[in-house]
Chain A
Amino acid sequence: MLSIKNLHASVEDKEILKGINLVVNAGEVHAIMGPNGAGKSTLASIIAGNENYEVSAGEILLEGEDISELAPEERAHKGVFLSFQYPIEIPGVSVTNFMKTAINESRKANGKEEMPANEMLKLIREKSELLEIDRKFLSRSLNEGFSGGEKKRNEIFQMAMLEPKLAILDETDSGLDIDALRIVANGVNKLKSKNNAVVVITHYQRLLDYIIPDFVHVLMDGKIVKSGGKELAYELEEKGYDWIKAEVQ
């Protein structure tokens, strides 16, 4: 699904990613953990195509195709989804209108007709139930005045609506109370299939109790320094990151 080779990237001449290698196969869940400032969110942004970062070397392949030169919307049309750590407010644009536009733009790019209104309504109903979202919420302005938890739940709702091949969840657990965390994780689990893949970026092992990763990677100072199974997450929770630092050095 996703294959990243020797990825180097910088912002304002400061190198943040220093040679990332990562392979994520369809049907897998990967967790990327690491201390603050390690480059986790940068990696997520670069995969999504944020042009504020400069990729100086390496490649990003999605299903074998190099997407590193594509515009962010083109990557989205190919099935890349990023759940933002800090979702952006767009006043006056309802969640429903936003989703309708997004879905139809993707369909258009993929040579499909617009989704008929009744199908759209059905999809909205189905996905909002999945994430236990009150439909009144969907006519509110996108992220405007949403609580932290509402914003994150809304990100996963959008993921459910867009049905991406590759979903990157950037700190989706931050700002969620335990009930919201369970609902969000439950949603992600239900959306998981053998045809898609999920990359979860998190500080804490907490979310990984609900979304069980197949692989855990530790990102430190722009490099993946250690990879392992889900038990690695528990180890990190228990011992912190210092022991890995020591081990790497």
Chain B
Amino acid sequence: MAKYTEDDLKVELESKEYEYGFYTELESDTFPIGLNESIVRAISKKKEEPEWMTDWRIAAFRAWQEMEEPEWANVNYEKPDFQAISYYSAPKKADPNKTLDDVDSELLEMYKKLGISLDEQKKMNNIAMDIVVDSVSVATTFKKTLAEKGIIFMSISEAIREYPDLVQRYLGTVIPQRDNFYAALNSAVFSDGSFCYIPKGVRCPMELSTYFRINQAGTGQFERTLLIADEGSYVSYLEGCTAPSRDENQLHAAVVELIALDNAEIKYSTVQNWYPGNKEGKGGVFNFVTKRGICEKHAKISWTQVETGSAITWKYPSVVLKGDNSIGEFYSIAVTNNYQQADTGTKMIHLGKNTKSTIISKGISAGKSQNSYRGLVRISTNAENARNFSQCDSLLMGNNCGAHTFPYIESKNSSAIIEHEATTSKIGEDQVFYCNQRGIPTEKAIALIVNGFSKEVLNKLPMEFAVEAQKLLEISLEGSVG
């Protein structure tokens, strides 16, 4: 974190508007709005998918039609009109066989604005990247280096073509098509996403990264990520998200499935910075995401998330601790400002013996926002000696925001040990004055206090991401103290 200086911060703070709110003119190939079976078929056809995949989508679509949009979350919004959205938008010039040199110069320009120039990434960073703009994965770097280790990292569309057996074997095994309303929708219409397979005993030598961005107006983004860590392997995966600022709400409904086989470990980190809407609460991304992982014996899955964007966040990265001695972790920072609403948390489902889970959730609310933690810890009958520790801390700024905690605990085994701690605090005038007296201006004081509050989670992020996350926290809370 030392890399980030206050001058960088100053520059950041000067740009008060949403930083990534630019729109790049790309010639897009966009489907007509609306959703029916023929659109689902058309998506599948466009992507030259095998028949089993088309059938799988159709099954999901039919299930979705029977389902109701859930209303239990602590969020209020006008429900999206699912017939007013276009379900497929690909930058026209994308071609998975192209090399980076062939990439559309406007696209490259866009990456540059995002601060993720691929050239830079290639040379300087030890990060392999898959970039999903709107819905199609544009280019994947480091493919060769990874291939030498037998690691498969590519867009899911390519994987469906090149590794159909692997995809068919695992797709929907953690999150079935009919799991929930949004997962069903995603299963029917997902246009792209990332696929990753780490072979037995391989330690992935670099952080794998996906960058998502919604560009086209009136489109939904439905990525699908499938990550399989075979026995004894290890991978750290980063996911970043941005969207241009628009007046209308944009829909994002992703599904992420993680599979950690015996003795494998997956670390999945997200920095979510979708457009949150403007100060009056107009526009912003509706983010309805289903993320879940399954752990076999002695496996470990760790979710770390920094959620600063979106008008509505509905997201519960979960772990099914199926194998004995498996471990699930959830570290989260959720920031809401202005009129943002977040309902986020996790589910830890203990099935195996000696399974352990840790939940650290930090909610920061400012402006007129509402921030809810919702978490379930379930210990099943056979989960002897299961252990959970949960800590949910909320920090309030001002008098018009809300923080809510909804912990659900279900234990069917008397040997379980479950601990839950929760605190709520307010940034005090006395804290700010104390900082001021030492020469620290109020904005900077807030950033310092918030970073201190979030430290346990920030520390879990890979270095490059931690710096970005820290900046984001500061930008998101800009102007929140008068």
Contact = CB atoms under 8 A, between A and B. Distances in A.
Interface of A: 48-52, 71-73, 75-77, 80-82, 84, 87-93, 97-98, 101-106, 108-109, 114, 141-142, 158, 162
Most buried by B among A73, A82, A108, A158: A73
A216 to B, nearest CB: 25
Given A49-B437, A73-B441, A102-B435, 9 more contacts: A71-B441, A73-B440, A88-B433, A90-B431, A91-B453, A93-B451, A101-B6, A106-B439, A162-B438
8 contacts: A71-B436, A72-B437, A73-B439, A87-B434, A90-B452, A92-B452, A102-B438, A105-B6
A73 B436 contact: yes
Contacts of A92: 451-456
B436 A108 contact: no
Contacts of B437: 48-49, 72-73, 75-76, 80-82, 84
A105 B455 contact: no
B203 interface: no
Contacts of A49: 436-437
Contacts of B439: 73, 76-77, 102-103, 105-106, 109, 162
Contacts of A104: 6
Contacts of A50: 433
A93 B452 contact: yes
Given A49-B436, A50-B433, A88-B428, A105 B441 contact: yes
Interface of B: 5-6, 428-431, 433-442, 444, 448-449, 451-456
Contact of B433 (A72, A103, A105): A72
Contacts of A109: 439
Contacts of B441: 71, 73, 105
B438 A76 contact: yes
A97 B441 CA distance: 15
A76 B451 contact: no
A177 B430 CA distance: 26
A92 B442 CA distance: 18
A76 B434 contact: no
A103 B440 CA distance: 9
Contacts of A108: 6
Nearest to B427: A90
B452 A72 contact: no
Contacts of A114: 5-6
A91 B452 contact: yes
Given A72-B437, A90-B431, A162-B439, A101 B444 contact: yes
Contacts of A97: 448
A81 B433 CA distance: 12
B392 to A, nearest CB: 15
A103 B435 CA distance: 11
A93 B444 CA distance: 13
A93 B434 CA distance: 13
Given A73-B441, A105-B444, A108-B6, A84 B434 contact: yes
Nearest to A76: B439
A49 B438 CA distance: 11
Contacts of B6: 101, 104-105, 108, 114
A88 B5 CA distance: 25
A1 B302 CA distance: 57
B444 A88 contact: no
Contacts of A106: 439
Nearest to A71: B436
A72 B435 CA distance: 9
A150 to B, nearest CB: 16
A68 B157 CA distance: 66
Nearest to A72: B436
Closest 3 CB pairs of A and B: A92-B452, A93-B452, A76-B439
A92 B459 CA distance: 11
A88 B438 contact: no
A89 B444 CA distance: 17
Nearest to B10: A108
Contact of B431 (A72, A73, A75, A88): A88
Contacts of A71: 436, 441
A84 B441 CA distance: 18
B444 to A, nearest CB: 6
Contacts of B455: 92
Contacts of B429: 52
A52 B433 CA distance: 10
Contacts of B451: 92-93
A53 B440 CA distance: 20
A73 B446 CA distance: 14
A154 B5 CA distance: 25
A37 B382 CA distance: 65
A88 B434 contact: yes
Contact of B449 (A51, A90, A103, A162): A90
Contacts of B433: 50-51, 72, 88
A106 B452 CA distance: 21
Most buried by A among B5, B428, B433, B456: B433
